[in-house]
A and B are shown apart, each in its own frame.
Chain A
Amino acid sequence: MKGKMEQFERQRLIEEGKNLKEGLIALEEDLLKLNDKLQLEAQRIPNMTHPHVPIGGEDSSMTTKLVGSAPEFSFPVKDHLELGKELCLFDFDTAAEVSGSKFYYLKNDAVLLEMALVNWTLSEVMKRGFTPLTTPELVRSSIVEKCGFQPRGNNTQVYSIEDSDQCLIGTAEIPVGGLHMDSILAETLLPLKYVAFSHCFRTEAGAAGSATRGLYRVHQFSKVEMFIFCRSEDSEHYHEELIKIEEDMFSSLGLHFKILDMASEDLGAPAYRKFDVEAWMPGLERFGEISSASNCTDYQSRRLGIRYRPLEAPVASPRKSKSNLAPPQFVHTLNATACAVPRMIICLLENYQQEDGSILIPEPLRPFMGGRSVISRKS
């Protein structure tokens, strides 16, 4: 319409332009809606799976390592609830009145044990080059979703805050993942290794049964979590590193445990591969999960928008004006439990119980408990 023309031709063009504009607006709206729907459906596609991961359900998970052996007791073994009761370590009953079931107070030496576990774990992981963090425990629900969790589904594990888009975190993985959201990191910064201490909150909706007594399944607990942001080619290496750190720590506490390569149906959407550690719990008379280490490859980073700028451009380009910057790539993220306090308390109480009802404190924790070597009845 920029050129010279007859009035009626101009009029026709104006008309045509108007129609096209309206049509465009409608089309663009359709495009937005379609993209929303596409995203909604596509986000449900789980991460790809490592070729070595066994296909199938729970029973297909493979034990890759077995460490230590079950302790032998010359006296009847008690479970952590009974031991805790005699030693005045917990209160579940009052907590049920004050807060609801699956809540608890820790008392006396159990408080010292929790502090010792957290302090020791932080110290051990920091020695291995991880940066310590404490994190917000309220986060926007969009962050929860970007990490691969479902805050608003039925049977959601996530507590939501009234009149707010915020949720309580179920794991520090979420706020730590968010630490670098919508960023392009310099490659020289990678790997970024964090160890985060937080409280965690889980609704445990849909979880029931005898294995949920006492500390085994609770709504609130303290956890020390490891998180790594790295280059894509390094994630398998760091997955091995994380599981090794866990192995070393649990061994040094004298626990009897096995490492499982979790089967495809048990991975959870974000994980490319997941190693769980299950420790022997004599009172429960079975192995119970004490930690989980996942390689999420780029599943979370594509949602959180976390990329890195590789140092070297792929090929020398004649168009030097844009300089030789390689396009940014998505990082890989990994997370692993360094210490889930209630499960560790179960392990320590049940494995280290003595005939007189006292509990032996494993060596590494003693300096963190003022040098004490035993938890015994208050006189």
Chain B
Amino acid sequence: MKMSCLKGTTISFSCLKLAFPSYPSSFQNLPFRRTIKPLSAALQTSPATSPSTTKAEDQVARSHWKAAIDFKWIKDNKEAVAANIRNRNSDADLELVLQLYDHFFNLQKEVERVRGERNAVANKMKGKMEQSQRQRLIEEGKNLKEGLIALEEDLLKLNDKLQLEAQRIPNMTHPNVPIGGEDSSMTRKLVGSAPEFSFPVKDHLELGKELCLFDFDTAAEVSGSKFYYLKNDAVLLEMALVNWTLSEVMKRGFTPLTTPELVRSSVVEKCGFQPRGNNTQVYSIEDSDQCLIGTAEIPVGGLHMDSILAETLLPLKYVAFSHCFRTEAGAAGSATRGLYRVHQFSKVEMFIFCRPEESEHYHEELIKIEEDMFSSLGLHFKTLDMASEDLGAPAYRKFDVEAWMPGLERFGEISSASNCTDYQSRRLGIRYRPSEAPVASPKSSKGNLAPPLFVHTLNATACAVPRMIICLLENYQQEDGSILIPEPLRPFMGGRSVISRKL
């Protein structure tokens, strides 16, 4: 999938913005306006069908970052893009984007034309001429300049609106992804089997209560619902899970990281999340453009933002440990009891930056690492190829792992592995320089540098601690209420093999 960037236009805008002082664009006064009225009129009367119009205007007023979207590609493949939008149940408005893009393209041509005229007038003024003629040229030059300023402002606003709408277009979808909702997701793999119990099975909340492992009630007073303290052996279990996971993933060549947990909201958006939507998952900081991260994917993606990496550096593989914060707005129901859905949790996340031709390979590698780790902990789980409506805008393809939770009497998600191809990298501005130039060029002065290409990014949960705690407590409960600690974790718990009641 070839995606070249609309680099040229973006750069010229930032130059424009700096060169011209703010100028009230008073359309009516300039006779020049008549010729471009149809275009600006189109801008004013954007279809009211677009649900985001009011918000769009607010956001257009702010100077917003730009994604390197390949408009030409979208235009050339609009049927496929439209079908993809439908399959994903996205609210992106492709027609509007294409319309805006055409306007933008034409307005850009108009701007260039006017600029050309203005340059022509400036050149004419260099020669000798009558005073009256000079006066006329000066007048003409002035009109053209004012008209140009107004047009360029329109162009900026149009680009902002174009970006706003275009950024909503979700990533394309892998051909093997099942089309549809939750029920269409396909099981790729089933590992292990549900343990059999000769006694009544307890859920993690009950087990945790008897073993003095959690406190939800006090946390609700101190912080609010869906917060918790971990106590006693649950703390050791969390540390063991994090330490073991970091160790296992590092063995496979990943560079360990800890990350900031406060990030600028623009970085959150560039990763494909919506910090300011209704029902947003993102906590924002008062009097600040900062947000709390919901996953280390965000600060790790930001690690190489606005960069051109040498190809020899790729793939870059990171394993990051962080706390994660989620509002869980809109999530309710019985499956949100206890540790299953919480506002704050520890997570170890894997992240890969790679060349486009390798992302599918690394997607398989990531899911394999997860499967190996969960198997070695003795969990019974299935790996799902998520259906198109469940992908989330950035993901080209997504594999979820759901593990058996005897207390909940169902499978619960414990991890997610996404191939985001170039969706995030086009927003974060992450490219690489291929080592070899495509063709020997006669213009050797520039060296044989191939143009930079966008990397692909992938992310995968190595360990979401609360979900893992649920799995371990519920699957390894013994009749006497104690919990057996799976083998791999014992060295990380001081050699202990059981969590039991405190005396």
* A residues neighboring B (CB under 8 Å): 91, 94-95, 97-100, 103-108, 111-112, 114-115, 118-119, 122-123, 131-140, 143, 159-164, 166, 168, 175, 178-182, 197, 199, 201, 219-220, 222, 370
**What residue of chain A has the Cβ atom nearest to residue B502's Cβ?**
A131
List of B residues within 8 angstroms of A97 by Cβ:
302, 305-306
Q: Are B222 and A99 in contact (CB under 8 A)?
A: no
A218 to chain B, nearest CB (A): 9
**What residue of chain B has the Cβ atom nearest to residue A221's Cβ?**
B258
Q: Say whether chain B's binding surface is mostly helix, strand, loop, or mixed.
A: mixed
Q: Are A98 and B302 in contact (CB under 8 A)?
A: yes
B214-230: which have CB < 8 Å to A?
215, 218-219, 221-224, 227-230
Q: Are A161 and B284 in contact (CB under 8 A)?
A: yes
Cβ contacts A to B, 21 pairs, < 8 Å: A94-B302, A95-B260, A95-B299, A98-B303, A107-B255, A111-B258, A114-B258, A119-B243, A122-B235, A133-B235, A134-B229, A134-B238, A136-B223, A136-B228, A136-B229, A138-B223, A159-B286, A180-B218, A201-B261, A222-B258, A370-B247
A221 to chain B, nearest CB (A): 10
Q: Are A133 and B229 in contact (CB under 8 A)?
A: yes
A116 to B157, CA, bound (A): 52
Q: Which 6 A-B pairs have the closest CB atoms?
A: A98-B302, A178-B222, A132-B235, A111-B256, A136-B223, A99-B260
B262: interface (CB < 8 Å): yes
- Count of B residues near A, CB < 8 Å? 53
Q: Are A179 and B284 in contact (CB under 8 A)?
A: no
A106 to B302, CA, bound (A): 14
Q: How many A-B residue pairs have C-beta atoms within 8 angstroms? Tell me.
A: 151
Interface centre among A107, A136, A220, by most B CB within 10 Å?
A136
List of B residues within 8 angstroms of A91 by Cβ:
303
**What residue of chain A has the Cβ atom nearest to residue B263's Cβ?**
A99
Beyond A98-B299, A139-B223, list 20 extra A-B contacts (CB 8 Å): A94-B304, A98-B263, A98-B264, A98-B305, A106-B258, A107-B256, A111-B246, A131-B231, A134-B230, A136-B219, A136-B223, A136-B343, A138-B227, A140-B223, A160-B287, A161-B285, A166-B224, A175-B222, A175-B229, A181-B218
The residue that B256 contacts in the complex, of A99, A108, A132, with Cβ under 8 A, is A108
Q: Are B264 and A99 in contact (CB under 8 A)?
A: yes
Q: Are B264 and A140 in contact (CB under 8 A)?
A: no
Q: Are B286 and A104 in contact (CB under 8 A)?
A: no
The residue that B260 contacts in the complex, of A162, A163, A220, with Cβ under 8 A, is A220
List of A residues within 8 angstroms of B494 by Cβ:
123
Once A98-B302, A199-B261 are accepted as A-B contacts, the answer to whether A166 and B223 lie under 8 Å apart by CB is: yes
B90: interface (CB < 8 Å): no
**What residue of chain B has the Cβ atom nearest to residue A94's Cβ?**
B303
Q: Are A135 and B224 in contact (CB under 8 A)?
A: no
B283: interface (CB < 8 Å): yes
B381: interface (CB < 8 Å): no
Q: Are B229 and A122 in contact (CB under 8 A)?
A: no
List of A residues within 8 angstroms of B177 by Cβ:
none
Q: Are A119 and B223 in contact (CB under 8 A)?
A: no
B279: interface (CB < 8 Å): no
List of B residues within 8 angstroms of A199 by Cβ:
261, 323
**What residue of chain B has the Cβ atom nearest to residue A98's Cβ?**
B302
Q: Give a binary string over B365-407; 1 marks a CB under 8 Å from any A CB, 0 the rest.
A: 0000000000000000000000000000000000000000000
B307 to chain A, nearest CB (A): 9
B257: interface (CB < 8 Å): yes
B199 to chain A, nearest CB (A): 29
A220 to B262, CA, bound (A): 8
A222 to B218, CA, bound (A): 23
B498: interface (CB < 8 Å): no
A98 to B299, CA, bound (A): 7
Q: Are A111 and B218 in contact (CB under 8 A)?
A: no
List of A residues within 8 angstroms of B238 by Cβ:
134
Once A166-B224, A175-B222 are accepted as A-B contacts, the answer to whether A105 and B257 lie under 8 Å apart by CB is: yes
Q: Are A105 and B258 in contact (CB under 8 A)?
A: yes
Q: Say whether chain A's binding surface is mostly helix, strand, loop, or mixed.
A: mixed
The residue that B222 contacts in the complex, of A112, A131, A179, with Cβ under 8 A, is A179
**What residue of chain A has the Cβ atom nearest to residue B230's Cβ?**
A134
A285 to B344, CA, bound (A): 39
List of B residues within 8 angstroms of A201 by Cβ:
261-262
B267: interface (CB < 8 Å): yes
Q: Are A140 and B224 in contact (CB under 8 A)?
A: yes
B259: interface (CB < 8 Å): yes
B348 to chain A, nearest CB (A): 11
Q: Are A160 and B285 in contact (CB under 8 A)?
A: yes
List of B residues within 8 angstroms of A114 by Cβ:
258
B232: interface (CB < 8 Å): yes
A13 to chain B, nearest CB (A): 47
Q: Are A140 and B222 in contact (CB under 8 A)?
A: yes
A51 to B113, CA, bound (A): 84
Q: Are A219 and B262 in contact (CB under 8 A)?
A: yes
List of B residues within 8 angstroms of A134 by Cβ:
229-230, 235, 238, 346
B290: interface (CB < 8 Å): yes
List of B residues within 8 angstroms of A222 by Cβ:
258
Q: Are B239 and A179 in contact (CB under 8 A)?
A: no
List of B residues within 8 angstroms of A105 by Cβ:
257-260, 299, 303
List of B residues within 8 angstroms of A115 by Cβ:
242-243, 246, 321
Q: Are B221 and A178 in contact (CB under 8 A)?
A: yes
List of A residues within 8 angstroms of B239 by Cβ:
118-119, 122, 197
A114 to B223, CA, bound (A): 27
A136 to B219, CA, bound (A): 7
List of A residues within 8 angstroms of B267 by Cβ:
98-99
Q: Are A137 and B323 in contact (CB under 8 A)?
A: yes
B137: interface (CB < 8 Å): no
Q: Are B303 and A161 in contact (CB under 8 A)?
A: no
Q: Are A138 and B344 in contact (CB under 8 A)?
A: yes
Q: Are A181 and B283 in contact (CB under 8 A)?
A: no
List of B residues within 8 angstroms of A143 by Cβ:
222-223
Q: Are B285 and A162 in contact (CB under 8 A)?
A: yes
A263 to B455, CA, bound (A): 57
B236: interface (CB < 8 Å): yes
List of A residues within 8 angstroms of B321 by Cβ:
111, 115
List of B residues within 8 angstroms of A133 by Cβ:
229-231, 235
List of B residues within 8 angstroms of A132 by Cβ:
231-232, 235-236
A108 to B321, CA, bound (A): 12
A99 to B255, CA, bound (A): 21
Q: Give a binary string over B107-149; 1 marks a CB under 8 Å from any A CB, 0 the rest.
A: 0000000000000000000000000000000000000000000
B273: interface (CB < 8 Å): no
A222 to B219, CA, bound (A): 20
List of A residues within 8 angstroms of B223 by Cβ:
136, 138-140, 143, 166, 175
A162 to B290, CA, bound (A): 10
A112 to chain B, nearest CB (A): 7
List of B residues within 8 angstroms of A100 by Cβ:
262, 264, 290
Q: Are A220 and B246 in contact (CB under 8 A)?
A: no
**What residue of chain B has the Cβ atom nearest to residue A370's Cβ?**
B247
B254 to chain A, nearest CB (A): 11
B228 to chain A, nearest CB (A): 7
A222 to B261, CA, bound (A): 12
List of A residues within 8 angstroms of B264 by Cβ:
98-100
**What residue of chain B has the Cβ atom nearest to residue A88's Cβ?**
B255
B454: interface (CB < 8 Å): no
**What residue of chain A has the Cβ atom nearest to residue B236's Cβ?**
A132
B325: interface (CB < 8 Å): yes
